[in-house]
Structure 1
Amino acid sequence: MKNIIHDIINDYSLTKEEASQIYQSWNSDKLFEGANAVREHYMGNKVDLCTIMNAKSGRCSEDCKYCAQSIHYKTGIQEYPLISKEEAIKRAEENSRYGVHHFSLVTSGKGLTGKDFDQIIEIYEALHAKLPNLRLCASLGILHVEQAIRLKEAGVTTYHHNLETSRRYYREVCTTHTYDDRVATIKNAQNAGLAVCSGGIMGIGETLEDRMDMAFDLRELGISSVPLNVLHPVAGTPYGDNEMPAPEDILRTMAIYRLILPKSYIRYAGGRMALEEYQEKGFKAGVNAALVGNYLTTIGNKIADDIHMICQLGFRIT
């Protein structure tokens, strides 16, 4: 182990074959120890926290099989149009007071257009004026470069758009848009000068190879923040009866992502409640970022509890 971890610490990039061999041949203790050493070298003891607000809910035209907000499935999800500036500012202020430095609005649908997009720009301009030290992120679906430029001008610094899984498996997850559409959105955001946050979901029927392929695609795209979600099965969706991955499986995936993407934030995201009492362990297995608070359609940890846990582990919130 020492040789390959030493190599990664000295800027060596794993091949896909090496990553697969490590995952399959190393026991968990060895894998976690190596991931922790790489995290300590490149990222120190800093942990990045972000929070999101569901700014437009339901009636999504896309058929992503994991999504409770798709119009194709009956899930009983609450539906509402784009929120007001006042609502967004109130939530942003609440999260800022807790010490969270990143705040994102998330909207359902393939992408925002017309009046809705103009309105979201106005909301971001108001947020930036009211809270100039808060880093603003956006997750608005498929994005054109002209829209990305407008978001940046409004004060947005980061765009979130997941790959979700591998190119090979994506067609099994969604048929109403393509993997290439997602890659194009990421590149449009980057070309506008926005940082990009992109990851995927565990527990949607993917294989280890799919997880590895996504990690290497993220590396090729230069992604600096990688949220790893765990499917929270929602009744009414095609994945409503899926079994959630075991905690060790989740942590091992996050650890191998640290080795593949040593300089990126590996971020706890939706569904980490599946780890139960093992959430702390992830921070000693390569994880150094977290989505905190309530998520889009599920309940997360309380922000204060997460901050307490992270500080108790000897990390500092950036």
Structure 2
Amino acid sequence: MKTLPELETAIIADNHRLAPDEAHHLLKTADTDALRQSADRIRARFTGNRIDTCSIMNARSGRCSENCKWCAQSVHHQTKIDVYPLTDTAEALRHAQDNHDKGVGRFSLVTSGRTLTDREIEQCAAIYRTIAEQMPGFRNGHLCASMGLLTREQLQTLKEAGVGHYHCNIETAPSYFPQLCTTHTFDEKRRTLQWAREAGMRICSGGIIGMGETAEQRLEMAFALREIGADSIPINVLNPIPGTPLENTPPLSDDDILRTFALFRLIHPTAHIRFAGGRTLLRREVQEQALRGGANAAIVGDLLTTIGSGVAEDREMFRRCGFTE
């Protein structure tokens, strides 16, 4: 079996695609700092020093029919979140303009629920067209959508309205998904992502780590995402929400988190490895170690049902870690 330096050289020089047995060997044997340093060099070689930032708006909250064990928005769980219907144009524009003015690179509407109706999709498409008309920084593929298990036709409508990326997390390893959700399947997610790609959108898909899965299953998720062809991979660290079945889940160690980011980079040399939800639960030192250990993208600002981090504070951290915007 090749050593970590040998695998790094093969990835950089020969575009070697890390094999599952190689990744599992590194998981068991490689030093964490060495993994991070290798991942950082691979990141610099393939994606440079530019940080890719995005922000999300919770455009419809709560009353979700699905029973995902991690989610505060499910009707199956007793959580204390705000519940409201699909946003109107004025409110969406206000959020988009605020992020545009702060220099955030991408903007996404995110809706709770399994899917949207055709009428709701048309409403969202009108919002996206208005954003693109008024905010130059969000044109040319910098608008994103996360709206559940849509149809081919609905995805095409969003593409024609200016949406460049479609987001649908696979959430975890295929082998572990049925233990976390039974109201829809991993294959339904994969099918939606395939339809989004066929519509001409790039794919944003990742998951949540720390939901009781094993380290090997985190690698399984990474390879599933490579098979899907994810361009952007959000890695969320579980924020256990009171009232959900995972509220008492023990947190991952810093070492587990940093090894996950590094190994995802080795498996996905050219992708945006995006630091997403749960980032603010970690010490600033750990956040910076992840940014110097494979990550090259981040969600900034508030998230769906939890408070995020300040854009200005994040931008200063990115600069300290050697990134430009």
TM-score interval w.r.t. the shorter chain?
Answer: over 0.9
- AA aligned to 2:304 is L
**Cα shift at 1:47:** 0.8
Match of 1:216 in 2: 223
**Cα shift at 1:242:** 0.8
Q: Following TM superposition, where does structure 1 have runs of at least 4 consecutive aligned residues deviating by more than 3 angstroms?
A: none
Match of 1:133 in 2: 137
Say yes or no: does 1:296 pair with 2:304: yes
Q: 1:66 aligns with which of 70, 83, 87?
A: 70
Alignment of 1:42-53 (within 5 A): 42-53=46-57
**Cα shift at 1:97:** 1.0
**Distance in 1 of aligned mates of 2:198 and 2:273:** 23
**Distance in 1 of aligned mates of 2:262 and 2:317:** 19
Say yes or no: does 1:18 pair with 2:12: no
Match of 1:266 in 2: 273
Match of 1:124 in 2: 128
**Distance in 2 of aligned mates of 1:250 and 1:83:** 34
Q: What is the count of residue pairs matched by the alignment? A: 317
**Cα shift at 1:275:** 2.2
* C-alpha contact (below 8 Å) 1:169/1:206 kept by paired residues: yes
**Cα shift at 1:274:** 2.9
Once the two structures are superposed, residues 101-155 of structure 1 have per-residue CA deviations (whole angstroms, 9 ceiling, x without a partner) of 2000000000111322221122112112222431110000001111111001111
- AA aligned to 1:260 is I
Q: 1:2 aligns with which of 5, 9, 24?
A: 5
**Distance in 2 of aligned mates of 1:119 and 1:263:** 34
Match of 1:194 in 2: 201
Once the two structures are superposed, residues 26-59 of structure 1 have per-residue CA deviations (whole angstroms, 9 ceiling, x without a partner) of 1111111111111111011111000000000000
**Distance in 2 of aligned mates of 1:228 and 1:314:** 21
**Distance in 1 of aligned mates of 2:258 and 2:302:** 21
Say yes or no: does 1:96 pair with 2:104: no
**Distance in 2 of aligned mates of 1:177 and 1:187:** 16
**Cα shift at 1:221:** 1.3
**Distance in 1 of aligned mates of 2:180 and 2:227:** 22
Structure 2 residue runs without a partner (length 5+): none
* C-alpha contact (below 8 Å) 1:247/1:274 kept by paired residues: no
**Distance in 2 of aligned mates of 1:202 and 1:167:** 13
* C-alpha contact (below 8 Å) 2:118/2:154 kept by paired residues: no
**Distance in 2 of aligned mates of 1:18 and 1:241:** 33
- AA aligned to 2:98 is E
Say yes or no: does 1:206 pair with 2:206: no
**Distance in 2 of aligned mates of 1:315 and 1:117:** 36
Q: 1:279 aligns with which of 282, 287, 301?
A: 287
Alignment of 1:146-225 (within 5 A): 146-225=153-232
* C-alpha contact (below 8 Å) 2:280/2:308 kept by paired residues: yes
* C-alpha contact (below 8 Å) 1:244/1:274 kept by paired residues: no
TM-score, L = length of structure 2: 0.96
Structure 1 residue runs without a partner (length 5+): none
Say which is worse superposed, 273-282 or 194-203, in terms of deviation: 273-282
Counting aligned pairs with the same residue, the percent is 46
- AA aligned to 1:150 is T
Q: 2:315 aligns with which of 296, 299, 307?
A: 307
